[in-house]
């Protein structure tokens, strides 16, 4: 279900959670049940528990209009800071499969700050593991929609190889990384 952009949770709650240390609270990672990252974020905000849910904007178009959705960068994960009582309150939400305790909190906060900086910048951001080199993919948007091929390079965009096996020949074409999806084998 697509919701309007103003109904999405804030990425950071409170806004300074990555910069303001809370020595009595521990950083944890919630591995959520399927597609419940935003619902958990709303729950944690209502409970006053600080969290970080990195999201990026994805364009979705159909014949009539173009829409934008905020999609979690790390599908199925939300980072939150809580003491033991708040950890238990988060588990009671029924949106969490398991909680992962963080071994090196300082490193995690540094990594999350880098993620937030990248998401705030002008460059287009997409999850890197969305497609990998050597993976078979299907183009979902643009003039090559429906074409399947193999990713041979991934940098600013993907290099897609299309082959005709019967004559043992191939071509390669450049495609936007967010225009392809892995083919389920």
Q: What is the pTM of this model?
A: 0.72
pLDDT given for residue 79 in this prediction: 94
pLDDT given for residue 38 in this prediction: 96
pLDDT given for residue 73 in this prediction: 86
Mean pLDDT of 1-22: 86
Q: Does 55 or 169 have the greater pLDDT score?
A: 55
pLDDT digits (tens, 9 = 90+) for 76-92: 999 999 999 999 999 99
Q: What whole-number percentage of the chain has pLDDT above 90?
A: 37
Q: Is the pLDDT of residue 129 over 80?
A: no
Q: Where are the beta strands (DSSP E) in the chain?
A: 12-13, 26-32, 50-52, 55-61, 66-72, 77-82, 96-101, 136-139, 148-154, 158-164, 169-175, 180-182
Q: In the numeric block, which tokens belong to residue 8?
A: 């999405």
Q: How far apart are CA 49 and CA 24, in angstroms?
A: 13
Q: Does 185 or 38 have the greater pLDDT score?
A: 38
What the chain holds in terms of domains, given with CATH numbers, is 5-125 (3.30.70), 130-182 (2.30.30.30)
Q: How far apart are CA 80 and CA 4, in angstroms?
A: 24
Give the closest residue to 78 by CA, choosing from 69, 90, 92: 90
């Amino acid at each position: 279900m697509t919701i309007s952009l103003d109904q999405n949770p804030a990425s950071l709650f409170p806004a300074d959670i990555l910069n303001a240390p809370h020595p009595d609270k521990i950083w944890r990672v919630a591995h959520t049940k399927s597609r419940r990252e935003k619902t958990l974020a709303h729950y944690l905000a209502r409970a006053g528990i600080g969290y970080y849910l990195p999201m990026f904007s994805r364009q979705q178009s159909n014949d009539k209009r173009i829409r934008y959705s905020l999609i979690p960068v790390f599908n199925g994960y939300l980072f939150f800071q809580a003491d033991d009582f708040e950890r238990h309150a988060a588990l009671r939400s029924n949106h969490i499969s398991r909680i992962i305790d963080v071994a090196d909190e300082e490193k995690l906060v540094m990594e999350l700050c880098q993620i937030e900086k990248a998401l705030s910048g002008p460059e287009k951001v997409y999850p890197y593991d969305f497609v990998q080199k050597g993976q078979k993919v299907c183009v979902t948007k643009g003039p090559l929609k429906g074409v399947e091929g193999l990713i041979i390079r991934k940098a600013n965009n993907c290099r897609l190889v299309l082959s005709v096996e019967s004559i043992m020949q191939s071509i390669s074409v450049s495609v936007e990384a967010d225009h392809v999806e892995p083919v389920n084998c």
